Each structure stands twice: as structure tokens, then as C-alpha cells.
Structure 1
Amino acid sequence: MVQIDARGMSCPQPVLMAKKALTDYPEGIEIMVDNTTAKNNVERYMKQSGYAVSVKELNDDFILYAKK
């Protein structure tokens, strides 16, 4: 599973990074963000794209896992 680091980026950049990564790796990705807005937007996008999403909070960051 490919890992994407989108910490420090404001929306819509994390969503665009997730979209590109899911195009390149349709089996699933792991993406790290550092704010709640990005977490919510990326999670919503991945769910709407048909992925099962789980979220893990690690210190001040969020790791989102998307799997088909």
C-alpha cells in the first residue's frame, strides 16, 4: 500500500493527492494529514469513490487508510 504525506497542505491539495494516488494505486492508499478539515474532505472523497476508510489519530496527525 502506497503512503502519501499531505501534512502541511491545505485543501483541496490533500484531496487532489488522494485522487491521483487512487488512480495510480486503485487497490488502496494510506494518506497522512494534519488537520481535521483535510481529514474530513479526504475521508468523504474516498468513501464516495467506493473505498472502505479507516482513520487512525497519531499525535496531532490523522492517517487515513482506503481499501477497495
Structure 2
Amino acid sequence: MVDARGYSCPMPVVMVQKEVSRSAPDQLEVLVDDRCAVENISRFAGHSGYAVEIREVADDEFSLLLTKLP
């Protein structure tokens, strides 16, 4: 899991990029509290072969589930 709450872009994307490069997970949960980060991480995930499921878990707090595409 990557907890990027409290960070503004581009840090959340950088954190996700590092985790994907380090461990190439089949699934990765990412927590963010910035709508811009949701968009940028979703874009990165799509370009990196991951599907993204976005859930709003609280006001302006989101959980993104990245799942590696076959």
C-alpha cells in the first residue's frame, strides 16, 4: 500500500512509480487526499498496464486500487 495522503502532486505519482518499479505488484492500493493526484495516478496506471478502481472513502479522501492487466 502507498499512503500518499498529505502530499501534493507530483509526489503521489512519484511514490506510486517507485513502488511499481520496485515490486511490480499485481495489485496496489493507493490512498490520496487530492483530486489532482487521483487523475495523475490514474493516467500513470493506464500507461503502465494497470486498471484503476477509484473509491471516495471520505470527503476528499480516495482509495485507488491498481490491478495489473493480463
> If the length of structure 1 is used for normalisation, what is the TM-score?
0.89
The one-letter amino acid of 1:64's match is: L
Deviations 1:27-57 (A, max 9, x none): 2211000011011111111111110111111
1:8 corresponds to:
6
Distance in 1, Cα, partners of 2:42 & 2:23: 17
Please identify runs of 4+ aligned residues in structure 1 that moved more than 4 A: none
1:30 aligns with 2:32: no
1:19 aligns with 2:10: no
User: How many corresponding residue pairs?
Assistant: 66
Listed as ranges, the gaps of 5+ residues in structure 1 are none
> If the length of structure 2 is used for normalisation, what is the TM-score?
0.87
Distance in 2, Cα, partners of 1:12 & 1:67: 21
Distance in 1, Cα, partners of 2:36 & 2:11: 12
After superposition, the CA RMSD in angstroms is 0.9
The one-letter amino acid of 1:20's match is: K
1:49 corresponds to:
48
Listed as ranges, the gaps of 5+ residues in structure 2 are none
